[in-house]
Amino acid sequence: MRRWGLVTTAGLLACAASIAAWRVAVFTASIATELDRASALTSIAPRPQSTIVFDRHGKPAFSFFVEQRISVPLERVSPSMIDAILAVEDRRFFEHYGIDPLRIAGAAWRNLRAGRIVEGGSTITQQLARAAQLSSVKTYERKIREVLVAARLEERYSKHRILEEYLNTVYFGEGYYGVEAASRGYFGKSAADLRLADAALLAALVRSPSVDAPCVSRERATKRRNLVLALMRNQGRIAAADFQAAVATAVPDGSHKSASAGMSAANDGIGLYFQEELRRQLFQMFGADRVLRGGLRVYSTYDPDLQVEAERAIARRIEQIATARTGARDLQGSLVAMSPESGDVYAIVGGRDFRESSFNRAIQARRQAGSAFKPIIYAAALERGFAPGTLLRELDRPIDGADPWLPNGEHERDEYTLRRALKVSSNRAAAQLLQQVGVTTAIYYAQRLGIESQLPVVPSLALGTGEVTLLELTAAYSAFANKGRVASPHLILRIEDNAGRTVWFGEERHVQAISPTTAYLMSSMLSDVVSSGTATRARTAGFKLPAGGKTGTTDDYADSWFIGYTPHLLTGVWFGLDQPAPIMRDGFGGTVAVPAWARFMTAATKGAKPDWYRMPEDVEKVRICRLSGMRAGPRCDEHVLDVAVLPGEPVLTISDVPPEPNVYEDLFPIGSIPPEICTLHDPFPVPGG
């Protein structure tokens, strides 16, 4: 019985030995395989790189990424950062060949005491091997593979190259890969500008960024940072005085920009509509993979200061209206600000809150333009020989057709000059002018001015029943502000790859849509809209610079517009609900949209000097006799006219209307008014006199 037991025990031992030998053989074979593949594993391949967008001043604004990473050469990393990472992660980095026996021995002892792997003892080279090629699961097999790959890395690359790659690869938490992205994300500065306290904090995060980050625990982050500083002091990397100063520095509270879903937040949520439109355009140009991984450098037209003011203006106006209108929490607003000269788009607001709705109402939404469309018709008329002083008569006559039509409006009379009709936004004047110019002609000029939306060929186009986007209508006004040249709106100036080579360059595109003379005459008339017409609230709101623009309101006050400009800044504003409904009682463009425009423009042009356009040499001021339409003579001033107010006038009555002077003065192209003086009141005039 005892012998049988001995035999059984021996058999079991032999079996166990065989199994152990088999496992050793298998493991040895796997190690041999890993060794054979080491050359491929140790090729330092390019990592995914963030695409960085720079604003119009050349400063980083936001980024697009899979891994938010911005690789930089070691020379562009602060020496403090290098010392900090070496102090805490691998103090003998420049003395070993990828493996630190002293560190491994210490880690092995602590693991033995713990009965499990609690510390790896990995060098920076080993960490790079693991980050680049291996699993993060803690096993002895993985550690052996890690050692093999680290040894090959040391054979193939210099210490300088390994350290540079490590700093561009390691994860610092909050979505930041690499020291440059982390430095910008946590401190708003490049890695080259990191101070000692900043560098120590980043080095402290490498061990456990999800636990030690300031946004998780500021107290724990401070203790961990101070530990790194103590190591640097003890290793002789910093002086005691530097240690004391750095320890006294407060750790950021974690309210920095955070990364999410492949798109960085811009200034704590500012500029997200601009950012999203830029992302859409870049994806279309280069594809998502290159944008998210390729490390492009995009130089944009984005102006962060103007963007802040734009969002404040829209948010403030929505808030003001909400206090006066129940249910206005659904009200949306949008804004586009651009250069009328270059077409650079400085700011975009696409709605009240990007997080609630990413639908961009400045670029994607097509809405009826209302009277904001009228300047296009007026410009077409000027191109066809009309002038600001041209009289439109018999405005009370219905427009002929199968169903005769006579539009109503707030300020309707039977006779207006073009200037005054535009200033008071007469619907009947616009409708008659469209008939005289021709609907197809007006649409032709709308297209020349950059309107790409399809417009209806109907008489009501005069009232802005065509649907357009805020961006295209705003850009159309650039012709009035820029000597007749339409500036194509754009968000991107140029794009470089991660090596600094230009891969795309955006040239400014202009179209001479109307003559410089027409542009000047339009600006002259549109300035009256601001100074004494439907947009006078811009003045009462505090905007003082010379400007021109036009309000727009649609049926039932469902859309409220104002497009206005100075010679150097053009801004369009729209308000409405996504499902068209009245904004508020008497929600005219001058009431709803103009105050927001004025607030933004006042902030955007702070410190600017008054500037306006010089009258062209082919334009003259002419005194006109209203009765004859000829140049006024001395006797024409003796006559006054009683002006009839048409039915439907909501404010004025006939007794309220002062007599209209027979003589008025306005601008005309030279040669468009014959030199003869009025013969109606002076039968024997002297030409020109």
d(CA 195, CA 242): 11
Residue of 319, 348, 344, 353 whose CA lies nearest to 334: 348
To the nearest whole number, what is the mean pLDDT of the chain? 85
Q: Residue 500, class by beta-carbon neighbours within 10 Å (0-12 exposed, 13-18 middle, 19+ buried)?
A: exposed
Q: Are 60 and 191 in contact (CB under 8 A)?
A: no
Q: How far is CA 666 from the centre of its chain?
A: 41
Handedness of CA 135, 137, 140, 146 (dihedral sign): positive
CA torsion angle 468 473 475 476 (round to 10): 110
Average pLDDT over residues 184-198: 92
Of 222 and 215, the structure prediction assigns the larger pLDDT to: 222
The CATH class, in words, for 367-493+507-604 is: alpha beta
In the chain, where the domains are located: 25-44+71-260, 367-493+507-604, 617-689
Residue 109's pLDDT is what?
59
Strands across the sheet containing 263-264: 259-260, 263-264, 60-64, 51-54, 297-300, 492-496, 502-505
CA distances to 88, 284, 511 from 383, in Å: 74, 38, 15
Q: Which residues of 129-150 are buried (b: 16+ CB within 10 A; e: fewer)?
A: bbbbbbeeeeeeebbebbbbbb
Q: What would the pLDDT profile of 41-86 be if each residue is shown by its tens digit?
A: 455 666 788 899 999 999 999 889 887 888 899 999 999 999 999 9
Buried b (16+ CB within 10 A) or exposed e, 328-346: beebbbbbbbbbbbbbbbb
* pTM given for the model: 0.77
CA distance 271 to 458: 38
Bridge partners, 624 (sequence order): 631, 664
Q: Which CATH class is domain 25-44+71-260?
A: mainly alpha
Q: pLDDT of 273-296, one tens digit each?
A: 999 999 999 999 999 889 988 999
Closest CA to 425 of 437, 413, 438: 413
661: part of which helix (H) or strand (E)? strand 660-661
Among 319-333, 567-581, 597-611, where is mean pLDDT lowest? 319-333
In this model, does residue 110 exceed pLDDT 70?
no
**pLDDT confidence tier of residue 23, bands split at 50, 70 and 90:** low
Mean pLDDT to the nearest integer, 346-350: 98
Judge whether residue 18 has pLDDT over 60: no
Coil, helix or strand for 97?
coil
- Among 521, 522, 488, smallest CA distance to 506 is for 488
Q: Can you read off the two tokens belonging to residue 65?
A: 């990424």
Bridging pattern class, strands 51-54 and 297-300: parallel
Percent of the chain surpassing pLDDT 90: 62
578 vs 142: which has the higher pLDDT:
578
DSSP 111-137: HHHHTS-------HHHHHHHHHHS---
How far apart are the C-alpha atoms of 465 and 111, rounded to whole Å? 77
The answer to whether the beta carbons of residues 256 and 264 sit under 8 Å apart is no
CA distances to 305, 360, 438, 566 from 337, in Å: 12, 15, 32, 11
Question: Residue 599: what pLDDT?
Answer: 98
Q: Among candidates 504, 589, 606, 601, which has minimal Cα distance to 550?
A: 589
What's the sign of the alpha-carbon dihedral 104, 105, 110, 112?
positive
Q: Half-sphere exposure of 515 toward its Cβ, with a 13 Å CA cutoff? A: 13
**CA distance linking residue 682 with residue 625, whole number of Å:** 11
φ/ψ of 358, rounded to 5, equals -85, 0
CB atoms near residue 431 (< 10 Å): 22
Model pLDDT, residue 441: 97
pLDDT above 60: residue 500 = yes
Q: Is pLDDT above 80 for 139?
A: no
- What is the per-residue pLDDT across 515-559, written as a single tens digit (0 to 9) for each? 999 999 999 999 999 999 999 999 999 999 999 999 999 999 999
* Terminal CA-CA length for the chain: 147
